[in-house]
Structure 1
Amino acid sequence: MIRKIFILVLLFMGVHVFSQEPAFKIPDYKAIEKEIKDKNSSYYYPKLMERLVKNDTLLTTDDYQHLYLGYVFQPKYNAFWRSPDEKKLREFYGKEQLDTKDYDEIIKLANHSLSDFPFDLKQLNFLSYIYHLKGDEEAAKMASLKFHNILNAIFSTGDGKQCETGFHVILVEHEYLMLNVFEIESKSQALVGNCDYLSFEKGKYKVDGIYFNIEKMLENESKALK
């Protein structure tokens, strides 16, 4: 079931998007924090979030990067976040075949999850698939566009080849979702400095592993434990 969903979303996204080596810029969190708190900035967070919620298709990769990384400065940010409807949604994920009567309930649950955490990539991915099954291609493409643009924002933060240039993520689940999109399986996980290093079976892929920068997650975790 999950495999079908990811393949469909890749079709919506256009796999050619990821066929080239993307340029990246290591995030400057101090600059991002300053921009999203400046009411006169185009990156002012409440305005950016309002545009995201209203499905603004003109949001750029920079906008999405400020939205995604800027979320760590919001009071609601929780590195341990889980969907409030995770248990119910997991039941639908586990089905080999969905019933048409399931569609509206899934859409309601997934959107509720996204209202709590706008970067719930798993539910954006699921929504795109369900809207497609329901025949609402416009809504399917919008959910897929958001999914795609958030991924692009993550890809714009590094190349994953070493910890210094690791992909910046704000939730561990996003690491595994990125691997799932490209049907890559990790063999083990290790904390290396401020990075999660996911290693692969030697010789199976072009690289032996990928680094994800989780410095903001570690900071959030440290605050939570105090």
Structure 2
Amino acid sequence: MKKYLFLFLLFPLSILAQKNFTYKKDFDLILKESKDKKSDLYYPNLLAKYNKIDSTLTDKEMLAMLISYTEDKNYKPYQDFNFGRKLYKLNEESKFAEVIKTGDAFLAKHPFDLKTLFEVSYAYHQTNKQQEADNYLQKAGFIFGAMFYSGDGMTIENPAFALNPSDGQDFIRKFIGAGIGTMGSGRDENGYFMDMLEAKFDNGETHTLYFIIPHATKKMFVK
């Protein structure tokens, strides 16, 4: 079943070239700013904008929130994506009210979980509450925008930031409208862990995209 009838972005990857974020240089600086009440990147203030779906929220601000969340006690990336899979199954069983109730409860503590955002959006769509469905898609769009802002992902030197290990797959499927081919992992010259995912396009082109996730791997065995 094709569950999502949209694409945030669809154009040749060859035109992507921005480099607004360098993990080694910027991650700790942004994390520090996100804790500073006087900073424009102060996490609680930005989270309020995100929850209100404030259109003035910038990609940099969204990226700062993702970085700040890596120190949240609820951030357990290698466990979190299993919740989205459970919601997917419930949606397949048309248990939309349960998806909305449990999904919203999960998002209260895991506000940037892409899979949950998509599943709750779908449940609202299926219950003819399109505005609510669109709100969750907009939040997902904020996250994709921050990932794209962080790096084009075309080379290991310019990877895209990903909060969870499955976010790169969602980025490829739902943001750039491609399929997933070969999946692997590796490290850059600084030893930072990378997900390496092959994007397969309808025209036959393939590109390997790189997603940087050392913050996630540090939480791999957190219970």
Question: Structure 2 length as normaliser, TM-score?
Answer: 0.80
Q: State the identity %.
A: 25
Distance in 1, Cα, partners of 2:43 & 2:178: 33
Distance in 1, Cα, partners of 2:162 & 2:98: 29
Aligned residue in 2 for 1:196: 195
Greater mean alpha carbon deviation, residues 82-91 or residues 115-124:
82-91
Supply the AA of the counterpart residue of 2:211.
F
Supply the AA of the counterpart residue of 1:114.
L
Pairing 1:1-226 to 2, within 5 Å after superposition = 1=1, 4-6=2-4, 8-10=5-7, 13=8, 15=9, 21=16, 23-27=18-22, 28-82=26-80, 85=83, 88-95=86-93, 98=94, 102-181=95-174, 182-193=177-188, 194-199=193-198, 205-221=204-220, 224=222
Q: If each structure's strand is expressed as a fraction of its own residues, which one has the higher value? A: 2
Aligned CA RMSD, in angstroms, stands at 3.0
Supply the AA of the counterpart residue of 2:46.
L
Structure 1 pair 112–17 and aligned structure 2 pair: CA distance change class (3 A): farther
Deviations 1:174-209 (A, max 9, x none): 1221222223122231323321212467x9753441
Structure 1 pair 131–24 and aligned structure 2 pair: CA distance change class (3 A): farther
Shift of 1:111: 1.0
Tell me the number of residue pairs that the alignment of Structure 1 and Structure 2 aligns.
Answer: 213
Shift of 1:18: 8.5
**Please, which runs of 5 or more residues in structure 2 have no aligned partner?**
none
Distance in 2, Cα, partners of 1:212 & 1:84: 20
Structure 1 pair 135–94 and aligned structure 2 pair: CA distance change class (3 A): closer
